[in-house]
Amino acid sequence: MVIGYTTGVFDLFHIGHLNMLKNAKSLCDKLIVGVTTDELVAYKNKQAVIPFEERIEIVRNIKYVDAAIAQESMEKFEMWKKLKFDVMFVGDDWYGTEKWQELEKQFSEVGVRVVYFPYTKGTSSTLINTTLDKLRNNQ
């Protein structure tokens, strides 16, 4: 059985999120999804629009997701120690970064493959938030 793992905030859930989960599930037997807690989002100097409990419930009920868990730390390798997943899915905006080159090296030493998925062009939570802000400020 191939266990896959991915993480995200999953705020303002959109087609890019769904595409990521659908594509990830197609490459593994069991997909575990880490949903970033509100505290961890705040650590990144951001704030989710949708509260954590609602975001994890949405993700938990996506048919491609076998389990949704709280992501309370940015340490992906620490999560591997707990879950022992076989493949890690991540957006291609991280490809080639120093952080992910190091993670790829760590993961390869324990037999974990890292798969990068392209972001869905034209759709992002940031873009949705920016559009909503513009609409609110014009009224």
Catalytic residue among 22, 25, 30, 44: 44
| Residue 84 annotated among the catalytic residues of the structure | no
| Residue 134 annotated among the catalytic residues of the structure | no
The tokens describing 49, both together, are 């629009």
- The enclosing H or E element of 7 equals strand 3-8
Catalytic residue among 25, 30, 46, 121: 46
CB 124 within 8 A of CB 99: no
Distances (CA, A) of 94 to 30, 32, 115: 23, 20, 11
CA distance linking residue 45 with residue 55, whole number of Å: 18
CA distance linking residue 7 with residue 3, whole number of Å: 14
What 3-state DSSP class applies to 9?
A: coil
CA distance linking residue 2 with residue 9, whole number of Å: 24
Catalytic residue numbers? 44, 46
